[in-house]
Amino acid sequence: MQVISILYRLAIALWVGGVALFTLVLTPILFKTQTRDLAGSIVGVLFPGYFRWGLACGITALVCHLIMRGKGMLPAILLVIMLALTALQAFYIEPKAAAIKQQITSFDTTPKDHPLRRDFSRLHAVSASCNLTVLGGGIILVILL
């Protein structure tokens, strides 16, 4: 049972660490040092793996929590919410945003009020909210450890 507990903690740490690193460090650096188009292209290539990583860590943590019959319902509820938001991003938001991005010749030259840019911005806002919620839930889980 100790191996399951270690795996649970490791999955949460890797998930939250990955979200924090990607969201708070790597993405801002890319958008500050590269053109918007190049930074967006790089992030777009990374997103599928990023979301798969989150899903793998989240499923591992949830399964471990259930096997351990973890204390209280809060960790399980947080994990389910975090997994649902990550799945929403992986299977709905990211593919839809990627399809819109393919139709936009350049974010640097396409006006912000262009319908495709507005659609993309809306999806980006939802995705960012999901990402920050996952990060917040993960921080709570780390505190509960």
Q: Check residue 65 and give its pLDDT.
A: 93
The whole-number pLDDT of residue 55 equals 97
- Report the distance separating Cα 90 and Cα 74, nearest Å: 24
Please give the model's pTM, rounded to 2 decimal places. Answer: 0.91
Residue 72 has pLDDT above 90, yes or no: no
**pLDDT bracket for residue 93 (50, 70, 90):** very high
Tokens for 68?
A: 């351990």
